[in-house]
Amino acid sequence: MAHKDDIALMAHLMRRAGFGAPRTELEERVEKGYEETVEELLDPDRYGIPANDEYLVFRHFPAGILPGGMPWGGQARWVWHMINTKRPLQEKMTLFWHMVLATAESKIDNTNVMMEQIDLFRRCGLGNYRDLLLEVAKDPAMVYWLDNNENHKDQPNENWGRELLELFSMGQGNYTEEDVLECARAFTGWTNNYKLPRFPYGRFPWKFRYDPKDHDDGEKRVLGQVGRFNGEDVIDLVVHQPATARFMARHLYSFFVADDVQVPAWLHTPPRDPVAANIIGDAFTSSGYEIKDTLRALFNSDFFKEAAFEKVKNPVEVVVGTMNLIGDHKGVPKPGLIAVGFEPGYMGQDILVPPSVEGWNTGSEWIDTGALVRRINFVADRVGDLDMPGVRDIVNRVRSQGDIAPDQLVESCLDLMGPVQTTDQTRGQLLDLAEQGGTMRWGTKEESSSSARRVADMLSVIAASREYQFG
């Protein structure tokens, strides 16, 4: 049987490198070993782990394939991918890049194109950062989102150039206004092909187009370097800047390790853990900007292993993690999927529709009165549903212990829901609740039914605790 500490460490890894995992999967991964699991997460192709079958969505949820101008079809489709993936880190990195390289359907008004960007993040998110930036610079949704289709050699538009430097690579304080303008000049001519009218068949795909006649081929000075730079040259200059390694290291730390201050404060506030940030940044640089190698160093580090419950779960983690725990919406898309896709938005993270190019504020800012109530109700309702296969599995694991005292009920439920770490005060409140029912017995049909209900109720109360909001 897997050691409790090994289970706790594996659960931590799967919450951060994925969206949590039920106990059976955690036990299987502990048998493989921590480092082997990290390698499998980083390189699923090498281990023969299949991707999701997109044709299941096409056959059973066609609205998710070409959702048109409404984001709900795309949201449901992506949530289905996150719930069903055998490649959890691939989907987690897709979410990471959506939060960092934020683009919103509210302006794009073409969810089909937004989902192509999500596919781009899924395909390239664990690859080379320089290559990813180049692909994003040519992504039709990003081109339109940051107005590069309005960036002409006789009238440069600085929007894409500014965000490339400020939010997508180097961060504030590491470039000049001249760099922004010269960067914009380098990306003139990087535009989208002419769009077809929507009537009568709806939204058509968008395609990137490079227009050499609209490109400013003159000499430019970018980040202290002079040349007749094109956009690709600028990306090469950007990724080699030490500031880029520091900036990306801080993003990776705050997403995978522990909550930090919000991005706009990074200019004046040092990293939460400067040593960890340096380790991540060094791995990023020495690997030639390979995300996979950088994450390998991160996941195998002591600072990562010691950071359990140092992050507030983002709404997507709450929703998808709950579905993984209870085993719902697995396999063929079924009715109710659209409603599940809405849930992160109700909690403050409307995927495909970030509030701005800065993405979402994270950490404690996920929690306000309305969002907290929604988070608690969503999880408590579902972990208290005895019809869910994952809940039944937890009940059966508790049942296998035989008749147990109230303190054993509390410990078992905390263990099987995480393990979840609580304060003595929270544990005492859970024990007070458990003691109301006395010893839990399974001898008769009535006792078995009552005890199963007590387990589900305890899971619901744990879901309502302050500690359960952390992952």
Closest CA to 276 of 260, 289, 292: 260
Q: What is the pLDDT of residue 2?
A: 65
Rounded Cα gap, residues 265 and 221, in angstroms: 28
Q: How many CB atoms lie within 10 A of CB 407?
A: 13
Q: 26-45: buried (b, 16+ CB within 10 Å) or exposed (e) per residue?
A: beebbeeebeebbbbbbebe
Task: Report the distance separating Cα 471 and Cα 353, nearest Å.
Answer: 24
Which stretches of the chain score pLDDT less than 50?
Answer: 1
Residue 394 resides in a domain: yes
- The verdict on residue 77 lying in a domain is no
The tokens describing 149, both together, are: 């289709």
Number of domains forming the structure of the chain: 2
Q: What is the largest CA-CA distance in the chain?
A: 85
- Asked whether residue 221 is domain-assigned, the answer is no
27 in any annotated domain: yes
Overall pTM surpassing 0.85 (yes/no): yes
Q: Is residue 191 part of a domain?
A: no
pLDDT of res. 196: 80
Range of the domain at 446: 384-469
- Token pair for 197: 């009218």
Distance, CA of 293 to CA of 280 (rounded, Å): 10
Angle, CA of 107, 111 and 112, to the nearest 5°: 135
d(CA 190, CA 205): 17
User: What is the chain's Cα-based Rg?
Assistant: 24
Considering the domain boundaries, does residue 66 fall inside one? no
Residue 324 lies in a domain: no
Determine, yes or no, domain membership for 224.
no
